[in-house]
Every structure is written in C-alpha cells, then in structure tokens.
Amino acid sequence: MLRPDGRLSLDLDPIDHGPKDACGVFGVFAPSEDVAQLTYYGLFALQHRGQESAGIAVSTGERITVFKDMGLVSQVFDEATLTSLRGRLGIGHTRYSTTGASVWHNAQPTFRATRNGGLALAHNGNLTNTHELESWLRELDPDQRVPEKKTMDSTNDTSLVTALMSSFGTEPIEQVAMKVLPRLRGAFCLTFINETTLFAARDPQGVRPLVLGRLATGWVVASETAALDIVGASFIREVEPGEFIAIDEAGLRSQRFAEARPKGCLFEYVYLARPDTTIAGRSVHATRVEIGRILAREHPVEADLVIPTPDSGTPSAVGYAEASGIPFGLGLVKNAYVGRTFIQPSQTIRQLGIRLKLNPLKEVIAGKRLVVVDDSIVRGNTQRALVRMLREAGAKQVHVRISSPPVEWPCFYGIDFATRAELIAPGLGVDEICRSLGADSLGYISLDALTEATHRPAAELCRACFDGRYPIAVPKGQAELLHLEEK
C-alpha cells in the first residue's frame, strides 16, 4: 500500500494508470564539459520514461560521486547539487519500478566499490533469469549471502548486475563485462562507469532503444534520440543489439558479447517513446500519424469531429482526421500540472478522477458525433470515465479508436503492464469491451497494420503484449520477477 510521504507520486489513482516504462538511461564522456549539467538535461528529455526517482553519477577520473533521490529530475537536482557534481564523465537514470519497490534504495545509478575502484551502473529493462544469476553470484563468492541481501544495496535486478560485475577480483572491467553480459537474459540497456571510462551495452534482442551521439568534445549514449537533441549531440547510430561499447581518452571501442537477434519493442512506437524520437531510422511521430490513417481505413465511422486524448493520442488523431476527412479538433484540455499529485488522494479527489487531468470543451463537443483517439486500453477504467465525461458534456455519440491492438498479455521486459487477470481484453470481444466502456463503437488497429506502420518486419519486433509470443524465455510465474523484493 502506498503511504503519504509528503512527496509527489505518479498518478492520481495508482491502481489505474497507463503503461509505464521501466527507465531512461543517459551517459556522457566529455572531459571539457560540465557533464552533470549535460546529464541533467538529458534526463529531462527522458523524464517520460521514469518518474519515481532520478540519479546522476560522475567521475573526476579518480573518484566517483553518486547523487539520487525520489521524485522528478527537477525535484531531485538543484543548481547547488549539480555544481557539486564535478566530473569528466557521468551517467544518469530516471526510474519507474518494475522489479523492486519504489523506494530510495532502489533508485539508480547503483554503486559498488571493487578491487579496481568504483563502479556505478544504470539499467533500463527487466532481467528474466535472476534466480540463475543469484546462483552464479554465490558460486563466484561463496562468502556472499544473496538471500540475506549482503551483496546488494537494493532489491532490484540492477543491483544484482552491479554485484556480479564487482565479483571478479582485480580483472579489468571490460573483461568482466564480457563475462557477465552474455549471462544476462531479458531486456537490458546498461550505462555504467568506473573512474575513467564510460560503458554501454544493449541486450541481443535490442528490446529497448539505446543510441550513440557525438558532441564536439565527447560522446553521449541515451535511451532516445530526443535526449541527444537536447544536449546538442549529433546522432551517430543505434547501439547494436548484443554490442558492448567503451569510451575513454583513447576514443570509442566496440565489441560483441552476443549475436544480434533484433526484437525491438513495438509498444515504443505506440506510446513509450517521445514523438520527436527516431527508432530504427523511423520517426515515432510519423509512425503514429500513419497509424491514425490506417485506423481510419480499418474502422471508418460517420462523425463530426476527431479529438485526441492528450497527449499520446494526438498524432494518430491527426492521421485519422486526415484520412477520413473528418475535422480535427481539441475537445479535451489537459492540466499540465496534475501529472503527479498527492501520493494518497482523498476519496473526494478520487471521485473527481479523470477530470483533474482532462476537462472537456463543452462548446466544442456539445451535440457532436465524436471520434476519440487514444493510444491503448489496459484496464479500461480511464476510457470508461472519459466516455462518461464526454457524454455529460453533451457529446451526441462517442466512437473510440485505439492506435494499438488489444493488450492481452503482460510484459516481462520492462513495461508495467497488468497481469492478465487485470487486463480488460483477455476473454472479452471488442463488442463486449465497447459495451463496458459505454461507447457507441470501438475500433483497434490490427496487429499487422501496426507493424506495417513502423516500416520494420514483424520478425524484428517484440509484439508479445499483443500476441503472447515472447521472444526471450520468461519465468514460469510472474511472481518470479519480484522474488528479489520478497526476500
């Protein structure tokens, strides 16, 4: 149960929220720049990927300093803190928990002292073989007692990786990484540093995005190209699936720890990534507009106005209006300051629900037949409340169009999707879901059409949340992903 702590939380109602990504990671090697400031701005660009905690680790070349706390990037860091974080290289992290509780000890970057110096590490994704890795950690150092948490400073899989990295005596970290990385299973994009070198690695399937950029005086790695843009770095390329990169005074070195078997997350295109990001050479905004055009062809309807659910539904609503010839309009106003609210809202606030986030423009929608475009339906509570609110504001008809297929399966690779029992789609047909929402009609884009909009072959995408075909072996039970927390 969430308890009031005086800080701010993700959602008005933590029981009913949209899809949340695990994290955003950032790394920079730029000895002549203020790396803490660059990392701060990079994390700002990645705030949408994690809003529970934020952290930065920097190294002067001789000493690593880590600062992290619960809250948004702007809440965790101020000018005095950033000024104190002097260094030549650094990494940053924004977190939303999928493994491990939302508490300070699980904020990242994690840090451990090794026989070769310090190691700070940040992780985006979710590992699926934590039991196996714990057993290996015990073999490496029998004196360590993993179940009693003597080897880790937190309860998440990131700390387990850090503990493994520090268990090889005086071996150079690059050699250690080439032993540890091939043993990891699941989705992982890592940025980590020792005193002198920035490292980055991406899992062999490349489930989560990770890109490489160039500064005039250094290098940047980040979860999305939008973070490169905000710090003035030019995009060089994506970090390849199965690639391990090291950057220091000698330049950039790259080696493979596994063969690339691309399975990029399809949901990045639907919702997770910023619209101004590029994935696999394809603009996310352009993809979402194309999804809207396809939706209009697959699910046409006679209506007077197309409106988005701000902000995630806007590009697809533009595409739907363009292809259908129905005018596009803004029928809902979003309160930009209520994305985070009191951690334990009162019952009165809960009853207000979606109205604190979205308010209808009655003069725009009254008497109109509306097409409402949204990115996804997970549990259905938000869409149900939205349809009711639009009807109360005078909408004549409400036709819901969704720019992803029905979400029927949980994600084991870093998105906080509900269990199957909590999802609305399993066991219900589209007509039944439509009646549950109270809409006049409901249309989802087809899986094949969504795939087509990305301009990537289906064989290179993870579509498991839609079709249940997991490209990486998953634990027998979802609880296994939480076993670190339970010990």
Locate the DSSP E strands across 133-250. Answer: 186-193, 198-202, 211-215, 218-222, 234-238, 243-248
Angle at 357 between CA 352 and CA 359, to 5 degrees: 80
Kindly list the distances between the CA atom of residue 475 and the CA atoms of 70, 204, 478, 481, 483, in Å, as whole numbers in the listed order. 29, 18, 7, 7, 11
Residues ≥6 apart with Cβ < 8 Å to 217:
30, 31, 32, 33
Calpha distance 293→313 (Å, rounded): 13
Q: What is the DSSP letter of 168?
A: S
Kindly give the pairing relationship between strand 53-59 and strand 64-70: antiparallel
Binding-site residue ranges for Mg(2+)? 312, 374-375
Residue 8, SS3 per DSSP: strand
Residues ≥6 apart with Cβ < 8 Å to 36:
56, 58, 82, 83, 85, 86, 87, 90
Q: Which two tokens stand for residue 424?
A: 């609305």
Torsions phi, psi of 259, nearest 5?
A: -70, 140
Locate the DSSP E strands across 115-217. Answer: 117-127, 186-193, 198-202, 211-215
Torsions phi, psi of 47, nearest 5?
A: -60, -35
Residue 175, SS3 per DSSP: helix
Active centre residues (catalytic):
23
Binding-site residue ranges for [4Fe-4S] cluster? 265, 411, 462, 465
Calpha distance 401→416 (Å, rounded): 23
For the chain, the maximum distance between any two Cα atoms, rounded to a whole number of angstroms, is 73
Binding-site residue ranges? 265, 312, 374-375, 411, 462, 465
Burial of 196 (C-beta count, 10 Å sphere; 0-12/13-18/19+): middle
Residue in the block written with tokens 């705030």: 47
Calpha distance 355→19 (Å, rounded): 20
Calpha distance 261→478 (Å, rounded): 24
CA atoms within a 13 Å half-sphere pointing along the CA-CB vector of 284: 22
Closest by CA to 176, choosing from 140, 126, 138, is 140
Burial of 367 (C-beta count, 10 Å sphere; 0-12/13-18/19+): exposed
